[in-house]
């Protein structure tokens, strides 16, 4: 159950980052940096973006 919650939170984070990047509110470098931090935080092993 905790894994499901963590996975869904990570997916939400990734989609929110995509939206911010598309709206040009963050740069591509910031997107990558935040994505790496989120990956470490949520313990994600594979990213299919």
For residues 26-40, average pLDDT: 95
Rounded CA-CA distance 6/25 in Å is 25
Residue 49 has pLDDT above 80, yes or no: no
Residue 5 has pLDDT above 90, yes or no: no
For residues 26-39, average pLDDT: 95
Question: In which band, very low, low, confident or very high, does the pLDDT at 24 lie, cut at 50, 70 and 90?
Answer: very high
Dihedral angle at the C-alpha atoms of 19, 46, 32, 15, nearest 10 degrees? 10
Q: Which residue has the higher pLDDT, 41 or 45?
A: 41
pTM (predicted TM-score): 0.81
């Amino acid at each position: 159950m905790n894994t499901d919650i963590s996975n869904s939170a990570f997916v939400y984070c990734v989609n929110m980052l995509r939206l911010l990047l598309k709206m040009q509110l963050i740069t591509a470098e910031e997107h990558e940096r935040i994505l790496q931090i989120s990956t470490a935080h949520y313990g994600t092993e594979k990213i299919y973006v």
